[in-house]
A and B are shown apart, each in its own frame.
Chain A
Amino acid sequence: MTRMTVKRKLEILSDAAKYDASCASSGSSKRDSRDGNGLGSNEGSGICHAYAPDGRCISLLKILMTNFCVYDCSYCVNRVSSNVPRARFTVDEVVDLTINFYRRNYIEGLFLSSGIIRSPDATMADMVRIARRLRRKESFRGYIHLKTIPDAAPELIAEAGLLADRLSINVELPTDAAVEAYAPEKSPEQIRGAMADVRHRKDAAQDRSHRGRRPPRFAPAGQSTQMIIGADGATDKTILGRSTRLYGDYKLKRVYYSAFSPIPDSSAKLPLISPPLQREHRLYQADWLLRFYGFELDEITSTTRDGNLDLAVDPKLAWALEHRALFPVDVNKAPKELLLRVPGFGVKTVKRIVSTRRHCYLRYDHLLRIGGAMKKAQPFIVAGGWSPGSLTDSACLRARFAPPPEQLTLF
């Protein structure tokens, strides 16, 4: 058999990695290579070095170490029963690609995951070897994200956390039943156990020893996970409920939602649909409201009857439309918590409103300058020179925001 070129491997193993939504490289420990003895830096906020035509950020070299896999997850292009071409990178090849891409300013670092070959431990050990080589031999100070294998040995996870900025383990699907049905070799409990383990190691690395020394930091950019949505029948309420628990129980940095997307070689168990991109978008918005805007889970999911978010309007607007009695709010007087509920006002806008109104009376055009999305906010606020009158209660308010219904044609 002729040996596969690195380029061909890269094609296969990046194609296999694209269904992982995360490409984040932010929020890790600050470091640089000014001392001249290494390569790379991390300054807190991540950088997207390119955007693919799917609009997604390309920040990391996101590849699989190998797409050989002995598991048979129905949604996954790498499952043992799929007919895609297979490849496997050597440790050297991954290290070399990472360093050379980094030096050319293509990437912030590496996001490495893998199909499961031989045994979970052997797979994880190879991934750790790559990270170790990058850090020790190449003195690489860029970003490393490792997708850990759920039942790999604890020593391997311990070392992975010291080498990588972020660790992740995918919960894969929103409910345990779905995982059992579509990822038969995986165990939801084991996945949660692995997440708990990472959380504890991270917590432990924060405690100073009795001499006041800090242990080396463990996965400083935290852990994240991903859920595929639209492959099983879970409602948004179920999905958001699951992520709320994940954020709470394991202190996750991020839960990624990945719209189930057609794959080149599908399984009969999971017929293909076009990916529910709008739903994915609404879930991210709801996720944001839960984490940064003080919304409770049932406030968001109670606006619809079937437990799914309104696809036509964003979840904050949907909530406001259902709670018109609370509006309009006076931007010069309302407490911060209420301002955060105004559609069109982001966290930054609210912060600016609160700081500016201390020394001046806010008028409508001030708000424009501050950067509120005023078209959206109009019906819900009172400001100097602006009152929405009967607009807030008007029956057609929703129609103002919802996209027009699809045009009907003669049948």
Chain B
Amino acid sequence: MYHVVIPKIGAATAWRTAARGFLAAQVPPHEICWQEPGAAPELFARTQAPPPTGDIKVSRRFVAMANSVVWHRDRDRFARLYGFLWRLRDAPHLTGDHGDSRLARLRRMEKNVHRCQHKMKAFVRFREIGDPEAPRRSFAAWFEPTHHTVEPTASFFARRFGDMDWRIITPDKTAICVDGVVSFSAGQPRPDLPEDAHEDLWIAYFENIFNPARLKVSAMCSEMPKKYWKNLPEAVAIPNLVKTAPERAEKMARAAPTLPPLRAERMKERLAQGNATDGTLPSQSSALRQRK
């Protein structure tokens, strides 16, 4: 029996190296116990995977899938992946088989991770933690992803925020990017980040871009599940927007059409003469006059 601990940081490479070793040494899945750090090793178990030997060819689709599935929070993810890899030896076509139930499960897990990465790209909210006038500004965010998604998603933030330093702190891992170099360290409890005045502007934007005549709370919740709300500054505005929407919509509908302000007549006249407020309105004005 083998007992292998896959570390939190660098799990993808660690799993792959171990899996290649086991595969080369023809160790069947039931002889391996894959574990996350912190679990007590079994007595008498060997804790080192055999070193990988020779070339092993696996389909690219599988490698891509494995690179996502290793970040799923399912404790059996490493074993499931190896189990499928083991079957691939005799049946390489399996990676394209949409009818295979174990593959379907891995695919679902892959999808979960992708979705989680996607939501992370969307819902991380930075606060400025350095001097806004500094040549490189710095920002920090606290985020609670559903899966172990920080590591595979960090490169996205590095590509996007090239001219600033940032860190994303999560309960199980912290990603830090300084001068364009990303590194990872242990997770942390929720930090106290300084207030950021732009949050107030962002909330104002969120409130005003909403159209109360089109209230559709379920559509919002399916795309922005409630579990994320606690770390989204704009979410504080949601309850009130939802509550007052019907009344606001009704008020708009009930309000009698208003008379145009006096200014309107003057401007229209000027427009018709080919003269807007303080410039000229070319080309169209003659056509306009004719139509009137």
Contact = CB atoms under 8 A, between A and B. Distances in A.
A272 B223 contact: no
B217 A53 contact: yes
A34 B223 CA distance: 29
Contact of A10 (B125, B201, B223): B201
Contacts of A36: 162-163, 179-180
Given A55-B218, A266-B257, A139 B163 contact: yes
A29 interface: no
B123 A49 contact: yes
Given A35-B162, A185-B288, A369-B98, A80 B264 contact: yes
Nearest to B288: A185
A388 interface: no
B122 interface: yes
Contact of B98 (A43, A80, A370): A370
B249 A34 contact: no
Given A51-B224, A80-B260, A104-B125, A40 B160 contact: yes
Interface in A36-92: 36-41, 43, 47-58, 61-62, 70-72, 80-83
Interface residues of B, number: 87
A137 to B, nearest CB: 13
A106 B128 CA distance: 13
A contact face: mostly helix, strand, loop, or mixed = loop
A17 interface: yes
Contacts of A261: 211, 213-214
B contact face: mostly helix, strand, loop, or mixed = helix
A53 B220 contact: yes
Interface string B260-292: 110110011011000011111111100110011
A51 B163 contact: no
A14 B261 contact: no
B234 A53 contact: no
A370 B98 CA distance: 6
Q: Residue among A33, A52, A58, A103 with the most chain B CB within 10 A?
A: A52
Given A37-B162, A54-B211, A11 B267 contact: no
Given A10-B205, A101-B202, A185 B271 contact: yes
A12 B154 CA distance: 36
Q: Residue among B196, B238, B267, B292 with the most chain A CB within 10 A?
A: B267
Contacts of B141: 105
Nearest to A13: B208
A180 interface: yes
Interface stretch (A113-121, A155-163, A205-213, A397-405): A113-121
Contact of A6 (B201, B208, B281, B291): B201
Contacts of A275: 213-214
Given A36-B162, A352-B98, A187 B201 contact: no
Interface in A142-164: 151
Given A81-B261, A104-B139, A104-B196, A53 B101 contact: no
B98 A51 contact: no
Contacts of B101: 369
Contacts of A100: 198, 201
Contacts of B279: 118-119, 121-122
Interface of B: 93, 96-99, 101, 104, 118, 121-128, 137, 139, 141, 156, 158-164, 179-180, 196, 198-202, 204-220, 223-224, 232, 234, 238, 241-242, 245, 249, 252-253, 255, 257-258, 260-261, 263-264, 267-268, 270-271, 276-284, 287-288, 291-292
Given A50-B206, A53-B241, 17 more contacts: A10-B208, A15-B209, A52-B211, A53-B238, A55-B216, A61-B205, A62-B209, A70-B270, A81-B260, A100-B201, A120-B281, A184-B288, A262-B213, A274-B249, A352-B98, A356-B96, A356-B97
